[in-house]
Amino acid sequence: MHPRQRPRFVLAGLLCAAASIAAQTPTVPQAQTIAPHIHLVSGVFAPGRQPDGNSVLLRGSGGWIVVDTGRHAEHSAQILDFVQAQGGAVAAVVNSHWHLDHVGGNARMRAAHPDLRVYASAAIEQALGGWLANYRKQLEAMLANPDIGEQDKAGFRGDMALIDLGPGLQPDVTISSTRNWTLAGRRVRIGLETDAVTAGDVWLLDKKSGVLAAGDLVTLPVPFFDTACPARWSAALARLEELPFTKLIPGHGPVLDREQFAQYRVAFDGLLACAASDRPAAECADGWLANAGQWVPASDHQRVRGMLDYYFEQHLRAPEAQRGRFCPR
């Protein structure tokens, strides 16, 4: 599907900006209540370590819906511990997309709650045979590199083990269009965007609360362009704004209200417009930090600039043949 995907720099991109900072094992935050029966287990993106996506836990009369399952065992354990403390079983896992920081805990959820069903787009199947397979090869090569530290290598082995789960990451039910569902007794609308952040991005809107789990259609501290078609991503954000949500939970970053999401769109579209101009990349990063500044603490500016430099070089300002490699042909 994406024969020219080049994942070679992805890992470096996510880690390089923090290269001078020692890897940290972060403290896992407590689940945060967003609305009655709706909780957020925040994903952590610590320097020197691959991220976990946010997980949204919604309780219905028939158990729990878990939107995204994280990457690291600590994150999955926090979801499972929270559900166990509250009571009830996980009835449904909804994956917003196939990146490992969102599907990595699927097998752990299944092991603890064997009756659950996983809902996701079909895009992971192609990713397992393409992008993820290539990424695994790079990780394997890096394990042989004596200049890479043991803590990083432990992370690589973790990602390789996840990829090796293969079918264990895949959905039981394929989301192939936008429509209403009743999951775990809750009425939800599940939407599909194609070729935006990935080939198949799923969002979930809870009807009663108006909470929208947006997955990586919204990410902070920067948009993650690793497998994205930027123009279609922007169009998908415009469609999200039309949904009747009250609170939006991004794939990474804090909960946004409607006004904040409108500001996020200004920042996102401003970044794309700047990338398309001949202004220096550092100026575009200034623009991003000005527009998205409320969500990016000063202590993170240097890391954010490093990530944006990487995305400009590898994606937004890559040679033309490469730039649209995740857009439909």
Give whichever of 101 and 206 is closer to Zn ion, judged by the CB atom.
101
Give whichever of 51 and 63 is closer to Zn ion, judged by the CB atom.
51
312: which DSSP letter?
I
Residue 101 binds Zn ion (CB under 5 A): yes
Contact flags string 177-216 toward Zn ion, x per CB under 5 A: ---------------------------------------x
Residue 53 binds Zn ion (CB under 5 A): yes
Q: Which of 48, 70, 251, 306 binds Zn ion (CB under 5 A)?
A: 251
Q: What is the largest CA-CA distance in the chain?
A: 56
Sign of CA dihedral 170, 173, 177, 183: negative
183: which DSSP letter?
E
d(CA 236, CA 260): 17
What's the Cα-to-Cα distance from 29 to each of 21, 40, 64, 140, 151, rounded to whole Å? 21, 10, 20, 31, 22
Give whichever of 216 and 300 is closer to Zn ion, judged by the CB atom.
216
Task: Determine which helix (DSSP H) or strand (DSSP E) holds 13, and give its type and residue range.
Answer: helix 10-16
Q: CB of residue 97 vs Zn ion: minimum separation in angstroms?
A: 8
Question: Which residues ranging from 288 to 327 are in contact with Zn ion (CB under 5 A)?
Answer: none
Candidates 15-23, 247-255, 282-290, 294-302; binding stretch for Zn ion (CB under 5 A): 247-255
- State the number of binding residues for Zn ion (CB under 5 A): 5
Give whichever of 69 and 170 is closer to Zn ion, judged by the CB atom.
69
Candidates 94-102, 197-205, 253-261, 265-273; binding stretch for Zn ion (CB under 5 A): 94-102
The CA-CA-CA angle for residues 263, 195, 254, to 5°, reads: 35
Q: Is the peptide bond before 221 cis (omega within 30 degrees of 0)?
A: yes
Q: CB of residue 202 vs Zn ion: minimum separation in angstroms?
A: 13
Closest-CA residue to 168 (of 96, 105, 213): 105
Question: What residues line the site for Zn ion (CB under 5 A)?
Answer: 53, 99, 101, 216, 251
